[in-house]
Structure 1
Amino acid sequence: MTVEHSSKSLTQVVNEASSGNILLPNFQRQFVWTADAHRQIAASVLINIPCGSLLLVTGKSTDFSSRRVGHSQSETDNQTGTPCEFLLDGQQRVSTLRALFSDPFEGDWIEAYNQTFTRLRSRWSMRVKPAKPEDPDLFGWKMLRFKELPPEPDLVSDAIVQHPVTKTKNFDKWAHPAFERDAKRSAQQLRIGASAAADGQVPLWEVCNSDEFTIAKNALDEIAEDRRKEMLAAIRDNELSLEDLDNFLKPDELPEDVTDDEVDNRLRDRKYAWIQAILNLLRKVKEFKLSTITLTADELSKAIAIFEAINRGGTPLSAFDLVTARYARGQSGHSLPELVQDFIAQYPSVLPPAVSTKSAYTEWAAEDNVGLVEGALTTNFKTQFLQSMSMNRALSRHGPGHRFTVDEIKPQNTLQFSSADVDEFWQPSCDAILQAWRFLQIRCGVKDEGALRNKLLILPIAVTLPTISESDIKKFDMVEYWYWCSVLTNTYTNRQNENAAADANQLREWLANPNGPNPFSSREQRVFNDEGYSSRETLLRTSEESRVGTDVGQYLLQFVCASGGRDLLTDQLLNVQRDSLQDHHLIPLATATTIGQSSSEIRKGKTPIAELLNSPLNRAYVLKSTNLSIGSKSLQQYISSIKDSAKSSIHLTLDSSYTQKDSNFDEYARDTLGARFDQVKSAAVKHLSNLRPAL
């Protein structure tokens, strides 16, 4: 793969970003860099340290749905198809550099404020006069002598000053765009410069906006003039020696040879030289080189590999990003992420009859739960959404009886989608994934996206639920039956892609003919019988070789919760969406202190009793407040505080008369958890029998 490297000046990049010649494809990544990150990259530019490559794709403004750099909303007026470049990697850097070294608030500042990401609503300046006597004199203000900045970014970054722009206040602050707004331009610039000088600062927003540096010159002139007068007074008062001033005396010249007028003239020359040295620094910033890699639109498939090579450790470029980039608004006039986000935010909260089978649930919300969290689409949801789109297009092309291949469930298939394909399949695919998540949370107790350990499990659910009537409880039961048979066995431990494709095919066929053969009957026989995964010996850790993975632990928590699990202390039915739940040790680890081990040793699980107490059989969801309360109780106090109905709901038998001092703790714990295994398995067998169609 051949890649052409080039470069652009900072001024060129910033001005092209401001004018719309460089646009951001609607990946909908939020601007996340902090004020400290602004200072760090400003310092890097000031001392000429490279700050990474930009990845660009050439095209026309109508090619991709996009927005201006630094703006939070999509473009609405780029329908003319003008030539431009799309920034695939470098949004944080270019947005920050534009905020630092240009003036995004020029013109209608209120409109600019409304369009700009919150973290970019600031102007920036450079402190050239130390704020305190003990601060480093980076710009040579004390002697009006500046050569270059030290090559220490952390030190230089301390001189970069943020001035937050607010919409309703601080109009009297010199860095605010409304400051002296009614004055004529030259008068306004003069007053800004004078006020900046009073703070010992020079505005940075002229760097890419002006060749004149009018405000900076005004500020520097006042700062330097004040310092010149201070130095002249100090010389006259014999507090400052001419010999201490670098290059002030000519060769072989003595201080007494220099007249007072000559001292004054040389200090004036020194002042102007210092001003020019600072301005030259800013002029060099204008020409700071940013490395670029530019692709043509037909080379988009190279972007992921290039991105990973030039941006290790950054937010990965995903298939969703590239599909978004290629979707030029389609028929809707909106970007794909905007469409999906709005769909999730407006998803109905009313529960269909076949989903709402538990009294703990009366409604369900997707936003800030799954898919869309804190205003951004989650990585898992974006991948699942693309997989669903790929599967839906396959069904559309080949008919409802089509049997999926492994390749057809891969998100990369959607890279070849046209805008028409996206228009056709985005909404049913988004709906399918949300239906699946609603089902998983309410029917199966899956707390959040992280609790679904095997991510591909969602695909058979997403491809089947939209084909079932929302009042058909028996068919929803069949889907739930498949889920428990899959997660309470080691089916998805390996070959997840193959299993997901095969299960999507078999589950659809079974739902179409519920009275036909049950394709998952052999899987049902393995529930809580799979050696090394969910068998009694494995979960009780009865041999040194027995180890339990994280997956079955999550699914055991879910099964107990979904089967009517109650909180241990409040006895309320648990709701995985509403309640703040924590994974709780039923026999507390604090009891380890009576058997000669610390809680930290127990958590490491290196002894038989530690292995046992860390088993999934010793875990259950409880309210966060309950977990905190139980943590401080002794075993006897803890047991006596649990209501029988709560113990029964999580299949737990704890002897309230148990006295730890007089008993074999190891035996007690093993008997208790062994009894729990038997009860959970019995409950699972009964539940699966009720879920599958009667023979």
Structure 2
Amino acid sequence: MTTFDSTKSSLSELLRDIIAGKIQLPDFQRGWVWDDDHIRDLLVSIARSFPIGAVMLLEAGGEVRFQTRPVEGLERKIPKSQLPEKLILDGQQRLTTLTQTLALDEPVDTRTAKGKKIQRHYYFDIRKAVESPYSLEDAVIAVDDSRQLRSNFGRDVDLDLSTRELECKQLYFPCSQIMSSDDWEATLHQVAPEQFGAYMAFRKLVLTPFRTYQLPVILLKKETSKEAVCLVFEKVNTGGVALSVFELITASYAAEGYNLRDDWFGSNVRNVDSRQARIEKDDLLKGTESTEFLQAISLLTTHELRLADIQAGKTGKQVRPVSAKRADVLQLPLSAWHKWANSLESGFRQVGRFLRKECFYNRRDLPYSTQLIPLAAVLTQLGDRWLEPRIYDKLSQWFWCGVLGELYGGAVETRIANDYEELLRWVDDDEVIPRTVRDASFRPERFDTLRSRLSAAYKGINTLVLREGSKDWFWKASIRELDADEIAMDIHHIFPRAWCERKGIRSDRYDSILNKTPISYKANRKIGGDAPSVYIQRIQHEKQVKLNEEQMNKILATHALEPDLLRSDDFDRFVEDRCSRMVSLIERAMGKRVSLAEEKEEYEMRDEHVFSS
């Protein structure tokens, strides 16, 4: 069954239905934003009978219900009781422009190309249009809200069209009269009958194309699904901001009298009571997206439906799957939001507690925000049980397998749903191991390519090192304490880059995470480009530091490294040893063995190749 029709509609018919409120906008459509240049270009295109693209409308009255609003400029002219017959999905900017310029007497609220807000009335200079029909862009004139064109910073009036008589005498035709010019023609007969011949030529040249103009119209039928509406809207609005699931659901819930936008973002200026603000009181949860929250609600809702299907004796494909996919999120009824929103909000707060127990203290250090979606839903279901040692250890293992296995990048809706369901089952059944735990692996050669703190695995390994109690090399404090106090921190090369380059060590080796660690900016400045044996002595003998070798070694060792190898400037043995130490941290976090045999062989082969070359 086809879900759309393709036809043509006259511009006059479309404008008539828009003014009558039969065609309106779905509430998820953004505001009208066209500037003065775009408006002029559109008027010229129609006057010259050029195509301006198709319009896409959606039949109203189907299962997909949205809050609607009139086209801009008609808000006070259309009663709220007027229900639309069709909704504009594509063509909002063009249809709004044509409504405001051709069908309304009020000035058009637009802006300059630089974004300055202005009010304009649009006219055709009849003489210029008739004399130069192929240069109509020069015939379009815009005047201010007083219908005057001014210069010299507004002091001089260059053109005054403030009355109908002045328009007629000077032969400037208002665009608001294009679709019906009887009144204007009557005035022209009275005040400037000698100009009627020029006007009739203009009427044939410009007005007739407007009045006979046909637009291609694609009409989506009322049976079109909400998901299809969302996807179609995004496909045809590639030049704008992508429509989020949240915006579409907001428009849908508004049709039932519920303002989801106020719930999430707040209805007052400071928005301190919004759901988002309450969640983001925890710094680790700042940036939590509304769509992520909806995905978690989808997990909870579809899981409940799945259990109901199983209890009803359904099997196989009859049983609905747990899902966080877009199509299922879009089907969430308002009742699902009312049922789960408050408890899920609490679940997200528990996620903050969990992350702190795993030694995350700053949002920028979190490897994946997507992994928090199933975690929040699981903690919502578990309540305080997640703190039971046996359950907590499973959650921790799953979390680190996802991070160090780098399994939550890209499109992960299927993994989110699987992990949510399997984590809940694993809580009570040790044999049902989540596939993220089964799938996760870490290969030591990955250390060579971990060079940026933007990588999830990089962030994870850095946190594993820090939670061992890493201390700064200058200040008497842990790295965590300094970071919390907002003292400037650096991720610095342990063997400095300049020293490595002097020794002929390749950048892929010295830029690896194995040769980096977090220290304060102050400590970094003390290192410079010297060998470790030199800068360590310099730091520990600073008058503000004054540490003996044993004390300094204890501090160095908190960074998962061997101080003696550092002091001896033995880069190769240092890297090999640090690799072993980091692998131990990774194995503990993932609950899995990581083989070092391949890594050692690879280093030997690589070094042999460099030597022979």
Q: TM-score, normalised by structure 2?
A: 0.62
Q: Distance in 2 between matches of 1:6 and 1:539?
A: 60
Whether 1:147 and 2:133 are equivalent positions in the alignment is yes
Q: Which residue of 1 aligns with 2:506?
A: 609
Of 444, 465, 483, the match for 1:536: 444
Deviations 1:439-496 (A, max 9, x none): 68756649769975583x3443132111344696445665344211322125558995
Q: Distance in 1 between matches of 2:7 and 2:396?
A: 56
Whether 1:7 and 2:8 are equivalent positions in the alignment is yes
Change (3 A) 1:464 1:671: same
Q: Which residue of 2 aligns with 1:347?
A: 275
Q: CA deviation at 1:84?
A: 1.7
Q: CA deviation at 1:298?
A: 1.4
Q: Distance in 1 between matches of 2:499 and 2:47?
A: 58
Please state whether the residue corresponding to 1:292 is helix, strand or coil: strand
Whether 1:123 and 2:119 are equivalent positions in the alignment is yes
Q: Which residue of 2 aligns with 1:85?
A: 86
Please state whether the residue corresponding to 1:190 is helix, strand or coil: coil
Q: Distance in 2 between matches of 1:273 and 1:578?
A: 78
Q: Distance in 1 between matches of 2:165 and 2:485?
A: 55
Q: Which residue of 1 aligns with 2:162?
A: 190
Change (3 A) 1:621 1:60: farther
Contact 2:295 2:324 (8 Å CA) reproduced: no
Q: CA deviation at 1:310?
A: 5.0
Q: Distance in 2 between matches of 1:540 and 1:473?
A: 36
Contact 1:568 1:646 (8 Å CA) reproduced: yes
Change (3 A) 1:520 1:469: same
Contact 2:566 2:574 (8 Å CA) reproduced: no
Change (3 A) 1:590 1:23: farther
Q: Distance in 1 between matches of 2:165 and 2:44?
A: 22
Of 423, 437, 458, the match for 1:553: 458
Please state whether the residue corresponding to 1:6 is helix, strand or coil: strand
Change (3 A) 1:338 1:347: closer
Change (3 A) 1:432 1:580: farther
Q: Which residue of 2 aligns with 1:182?
A: none
Q: Distance in 2 between matches of 1:476 and 1:297?
A: 49
Q: Distance in 1 between matches of 2:484 and 2:18?
A: 42
Whether 1:297 and 2:202 are equivalent positions in the alignment is no
Contact 2:55 2:215 (8 Å CA) reproduced: yes
Deviations 1:342-390 (A, max 9, x none): 4996138678xxxxxxxxx9844967x222xxxxx5x666656555543
Q: Which residue of 2 aligns with 1:273?
A: 198
Please state whether the residue corresponding to 2:447 is helix, strand or coil: helix
Change (3 A) 1:206 1:194: same
The correspondence of residues 269-418 of structure 1 with structure 2, limited to 5 A, is 273=198, 277=202, 281=206, 284-285=209-210, 287-300=212-225, 302-303=228-229, 307=233, 323=249, 326-327=252-253, 329-330=255-256, 333-342=257-266, 346-347=274-275, 363-364=282-283, 369-371=287-289, 386=298, 389-391=301-303, 393-394=305-306, 408-417=323-332
Q: Which residue of 2 aligns with 1:233?
A: none
Deviations 1:252-272 (A, max 9, x none): xxxxxxxxxxxxx9xx76x96
Q: Distance in 2 between matches of 1:592 and 1:393?
A: 62
Q: Distance in 2 between matches of 1:37 and 1:440?
A: 52
Q: Identify unmatched segments of 5+ residues in structure 2.
A: 151-159, 540-544, 546-551, 592-613
The correspondence of residues 395-544 of structure 1 with structure 2, limited to 5 A, is 408-417=323-332, 419=333, 421-422=335-336, 424-425=338-339, 427=341, 431=345, 434-435=348-349, 438=352, 445=360, 455=370, 457-469=371-383, 473-474=387-388, 478-489=394-405, 496=412, 499-511=415-427, 513=428, 517=430, 530=441, 534-540=442-448
Change (3 A) 1:471 1:85: same
Change (3 A) 1:526 1:557: farther
Please state whether the residue corresponding to 1:370 is helix, strand or coil: coil
Of 518, 523, 529, the match for 1:635: 529
Contact 1:47 1:149 (8 Å CA) reproduced: no
Contact 1:25 1:64 (8 Å CA) reproduced: no
Task: Name the amino acid aligned to 2:119.
Answer: R
Contact 2:9 2:214 (8 Å CA) reproduced: yes
Q: Distance in 2 between matches of 1:281 and 1:622?
A: 72
Q: Distance in 2 between matches of 1:342 and 1:493?
A: 31
Task: Name the amino acid aligned to 1:298.
Answer: E
Please state whether the residue corresponding to 2:223 is helix, strand or coil: helix
Residues matched between the structures, number = 544
Identity %, equivalent residues: 16
Contact 2:59 2:220 (8 Å CA) reproduced: yes
Change (3 A) 1:556 1:440: farther
Q: Which residue of 1 aligns with 2:156?
A: none
Task: Name the amino acid aligned to 2:131.
Answer: R
Task: Name the amino acid aligned to 2:458.
Answer: G
Contact 2:306 2:320 (8 Å CA) reproduced: no
Q: Distance in 2 between matches of 1:45 and 1:589?
A: 66
Contact 2:367 2:403 (8 Å CA) reproduced: no
Deviations 1:8-34 (A, max 9, x none): 344443453454322222336465666
The correspondence of residues 29-40 of structure 1 with structure 2, limited to 5 A, is 29=30
Task: Name the amino acid aligned to 1:635.
Answer: G
Contact 2:10 2:212 (8 Å CA) reproduced: yes
Q: CA deviation at 1:85?
A: 0.9
Q: Distance in 2 between matches of 1:613 and 1:633?
A: 16
Q: Distance in 1 between matches of 2:200 and 2:59?
A: 41
Please state whether the residue corresponding to 2:86 is helix, strand or coil: strand
Q: Distance in 1 between matches of 2:140 and 2:563?
A: 64
Change (3 A) 1:646 1:525: farther
Q: CA deviation at 1:507?
A: 2.0
Q: TM-score, normalised by structure 1?
A: 0.56
Q: Distance in 1 between matches of 2:559 and 2:20?
A: 62
Please state whether the residue corresponding to 2:328 is helix, strand or coil: helix
Q: Distance in 2 between matches of 1:580 and 1:30?
A: 43
Change (3 A) 1:348 1:313: closer
Q: Which residue of 2 aligns with 1:239?
A: none
Q: CA deviation at 1:329?
A: 3.1
Change (3 A) 1:51 1:610: farther
Q: Which residue of 2 aligns with 1:248?
A: none
